Structure 1
Amino acid sequence: MTMNRRNLLAGAGAAAASTLLARAAGAQSFPFVPNQRYPDPAVQILDPSFAKYRIYSSTVEQVATGMRWAEGPAYFPEGGYLLFSDIPNNRIMKFDEKTGQTSVFRANANYANGNARDRQGRLVSCEHSVTRRVTRTEKDGKITVLADKFDGKRLNAPNDIVVKSDDTIWFTDPLFGINGEWEGKKEKPEQATTNVYRLTKDGKLTAVITDIVNPNGLAFSPDEKKLYVVEWKGTPNRSIWSFDVNADGTLGGKTKLIDAADQGALDGFRVDRDGNLWCGWGSNGALQPEPTEVGGRRVFQLKGKPEDLDGVMVFSPAGKPLAHIRLPERCANLTFGGPKNNRLYMTSCHSVYALYVESHGAV
C-alpha cells in the first residue's frame, strides 16, 4: 500500500482507538507503579504467624484497570484466565494471564455481581438486577437459569455465590442491585427478608438463613463444616458470622467471628487451605458525628481514612487479625488463582490487583 497523508492519519487513528479500547478494558499501561523494594511494604504483618504466607520477593501488581466497580472474581485454571464483573458498566470482564490483556467477556450481563466456577468448570453468576437470577454458562456458551424465584416471588438481587463439593450452590440475596440506578434498576423487593439460599442439583431452593440484614460475601471453611457470611448492616457493624453446617445442609451454631468496627467495610472474601479468611476491606462510608473545618467549610468527614483502610485484611480461623495488604483502592472481593492457586486476585473499585503469596485457596 502506498503511504500517504490519508493512510497515515487513518493508521494513527486506528492505533489511538485501539490504545483507548485497551486502556478502557483494563489492558496495557497504568498509573500504578509496583513497589521497587522487597519485601513489599504494602504487606503489613499484624501477627508473626502470617510471615510464612508472605513471599519476600513478591509485590502487589495492578493487572487491569478502567472499570467503574470491579467485583465477583472467579479463576478458571483450564484456560488460565480470570473473569470478574464491572457492575455499573453491566459487563463481565476477562483477564488472560498469558497475554496480560483484559477484554469484555460478556456485555449486557444483567449487572452480574458474584461469579464462581463450579466443579465441572462452568461459570455460575449472580445477575443482581433486571433479571435478578442465578445462571450457569454451559461449555457451549448457552445460559441456563438455575434460580429466579423463591416461594413464587422474585429474588431480591443475588450478590455472591459459592459452590460446595457436593455441587450444591449457595448464594446471598440482599437488596443492593435494586436499591438504585447505579448498579442496576431500582425496583421494589418481593421477598420479606434478605436470605442466604442453598440450591441442590435437582433444583430445590431453600432459604437456609433468613435473619441476616443484607448478607453479602460467603465462603466455606476448608472442611466445609463452617459457613461464613458477611452481614452488611444491622449488628450494628459489618460482621462475619460463622454457622455450623449440618449433614443435611441445614445450619446451626451461629457465632460472630469478625466485627469490622464502626469504620471498616467487609465485602467479599475467600478462605485458604489453612482456614484463614482473606477479606476485602476499606472504608464503609460512615461519617463523623460532627463536622470539621476544611478550607472555610464545615465538612462531615469519613470515620477513618480510606488510605489507611483500603486493601485486604487477613484473619485466622479464630478471627484474629494477621495481616493487612494495602491497596490504593478499596477491595470489594478477591479469589485465589494462577497455575499453582497461589496468586491472590483482588477486585478493587476501578482495578484488579494481584499478589503471589505462600498460601493456596481452599477448593
Structure 2
Amino acid sequence: MYSDLMSYNILLAIYLRPVAAQYLAPLPEEYSGVAAVLIEDNLAVIPGNWSYESNMVPFYNVTSDDEDFQDAADTIAAADFIALSPDFLSLIGPSATLDRIVNFTSPEVELVHEAPAYVPDTNELLFSTTTAIGRLWALNLDTLELRNLTLDPPLSNINGATYHNGTVYVCTNGGDVRGIFSVNFTTGATAPIVNNYRGRRLNSPNDVIFDSPGNMWFTDPAYGWYSEFEGVGEPELPQSIYFFNMTSKALQVVSNDVVHVPNGLAFSPDETKLYVADSANLQGRPLGDTDPMGLRNVVAFDVEQYPLLSNPTLVHQTEVGWPDGLRISSSGLIVVGVRGAADVVDPRTGTLLGKFNCPDDIIYNVERIAETGTWFLIGGKHIYRVAIAETSPPLAGS
C-alpha cells in the first residue's frame, strides 16, 4: 500500500501542475488519504508525438513528448486506484487500501499463479502455481504464513478453483487426463468429479464456478496444449463452456462458437447473466506473445432457459494483455484480472469505471471474501489484498 505521504504527493503533483491538471481532476477532500487519481475525459486525446513499447504495457506507459501529459501519466502510474469515472470513487470509498501481502521471489516470481479460492473454514486463501506440477498453496490470512498442500493423489497444473459447501474444486490443465477434482483442504485428499466428454479428453479446464441449484460450470480452452505441459496431447474437443449437472453427472456443452478461447467466468448476483472472458489473443503452440488484433473480451450471456445460454453481448475489451479470472460485486460490477491491473466494469453499459492498479505485474485471477469489501488479486509477482466499500454477493447456494 502507498503511504499517506505518497497519497499526499500524488495530490500535490496534480495541484502544482495547472496544465497537467487538465488530465487529472482533483479528488474530493474525503479521499485525501487514498492513493487514487481521477482522470479527466478518459484521456481521449494524447498530445504531441507519442508511442508505446509493446502491446503488453498499460495505457499510462505511453511516452509523449508533451511534458504536461507525461507528468500526468507518471502520476497515474504511481496510484493504487485509477478512476475513469467519478462513480469509481464511490465504489472504492474514502478508506480504500491496496496491500501486497505476498511477494514472490525467484524462481517463483517467473511462474504463473492461479486458482484462488477463499476457505472460510480456515480463513485461508488457496492458490496454485499453475506452471508447475502439483503446487497448491494455502495462505493464512491472519498470519500471512504459507503452507504447501500435499495432494493425494497429486494433480497436474492446477489453474482454476472455487469453494462450494465445504469443499474446494479445482481445474487441472496438465497431465494425460485433465478435469475437475475435489480437494479436501485439510487432508489434501483429491477425487475426480468429471474428466471426459463422452470418451474424449477435456482440453485444459481453466476456471470453475457453481450456481445456486448446486451445479457446476467451467471453461475448457487448450492452454495445456499451447503451453506444452507434460502429458497433454493434441486437443480432442472444441474450446468450450460446459455445464455439469452434479446430480445426474451429465456434462453438457453450452457454448463453443462465441467465446473463442474461454477463460474466467462468473454469474451476475441474480444468476441471469453469465460473464466469460475470451483470451483469444493469447493462443497457439508454442504459446507466445499476444496478438494485437486478437480478441480480448468479456462476453455476457443470458441464462433464460436454464442451463442454455443466449444473447451473447460484448461488455468489455481490455486495452492490454488479455482478460483472465473474474468476480462480480454485489451491485453487479465485473472485476477482471488483466495486465497491470484489475479492471472494474459496469456490464450494464460496458463502461470501464476504473482500475485496481498493479504496475509491472499480471493479474491472473481475482477472489473475494463473500459479503465483504475484501478482494484478492493474484499476480505473477505479488498477491494483493484490496479493501473497498463495494462488497461481493453471498456464495452461491449459501
Structure 1 outlier segments of 4+, above 4 Å? 138-141, 183-186
**SS of aligned partner of 2:363:** coil
Give the Å deviation of 1:185: 4.2
Counterparts of 2:338 and 2:188, CA distance in 1: 34
Correspondence for 1:190: 236
Is contact 2:316–2:352 with CA below 8 Å preserved after alignment? no
Correspondence for 2:90: 52
Is contact 1:55–1:356 with CA below 8 Å preserved after alignment? no
Matches within 5 A, 1:58-207: 58-66=96-104, 67=108, 68-90=111-133, 91-106=135-150, 108-118=154-164, 120-130=165-175, 131-138=177-184, 141-181=188-228, 184-191=230-237, 193-202=238-247, 203-207=249-253
**SS of aligned partner of 1:52:** helix
Give the Å deviation of 1:184: 4.7
Do residues 241 (structure 1) and 299 (structure 2) align?
yes
**SS of aligned partner of 1:327:** strand
Correspondence for 2:47: none
Number of paired residues? 299
Is contact 1:88–1:184 with CA below 8 Å preserved after alignment? no
Specify whether residues 184 and 256 from structure 1 end up closer, same or farther in structure 2 by C-alpha distance, changes over 3 A only.
Answer: farther
Correspondence for 2:364: 332
Is contact 1:64–1:102 with CA below 8 Å preserved after alignment? no
Is contact 2:95–2:388 with CA below 8 Å preserved after alignment? no
Counterparts of 2:232 and 2:307, CA distance in 1: 33
Deviations 1:29-75 (A, max 9, x none): xxxx6444320231011111121222433322111132321112111
Letter in 2 for 1:230: A
Counterparts of 2:199 and 2:128, CA distance in 1: 28
State the identity %. 25
**SS of aligned partner of 2:97:** coil
Correspondence for 2:60: none
**SS of aligned partner of 2:192:** strand
Is contact 1:35–1:60 with CA below 8 Å preserved after alignment? no
Q: 2:374 aligns with which of 328, 331, 343?
A: 343
Deviations 1:220-258 (A, max 9, x none): 011000011111117842111111112431111111111
Specify whether residues 54 and 184 from structure 1 end up closer, same or farther in structure 2 by C-alpha distance, changes over 3 A only.
Answer: farther
Q: 2:345 aligns with which of 315, 333, 358?
A: 315
Q: CA RMSD in A?
A: 1.9
Is contact 1:280–1:312 with CA below 8 Å preserved after alignment? yes
Is contact 2:150–2:188 with CA below 8 Å preserved after alignment? no
Correspondence for 2:80: 42
Correspondence for 1:210: 256
Letter in 2 for 1:58: A
Is contact 2:97–2:388 with CA below 8 Å preserved after alignment? no
Residue ranges of structure 1 left out of the alignment (5+ in a row)? 1-32, 283-309
Correspondence for 2:290: none
Is contact 1:125–1:136 with CA below 8 Å preserved after alignment? yes
Give the Å deviation of 1:140: 5.9
Residue ranges of structure 2 left out of the alignment (5+ in a row)? 8-32, 36-78, 282-292
Q: 2:268 aligns with which of 221, 227, 232?
A: 221
Counterparts of 2:124 and 2:230, CA distance in 1: 26
**SS of aligned partner of 1:315:** strand
TM-score, normalised to structure 1's length?
Answer: 0.78
**SS of aligned partner of 1:322:** strand
TM-score, normalised to structure 2's length?
Answer: 0.71
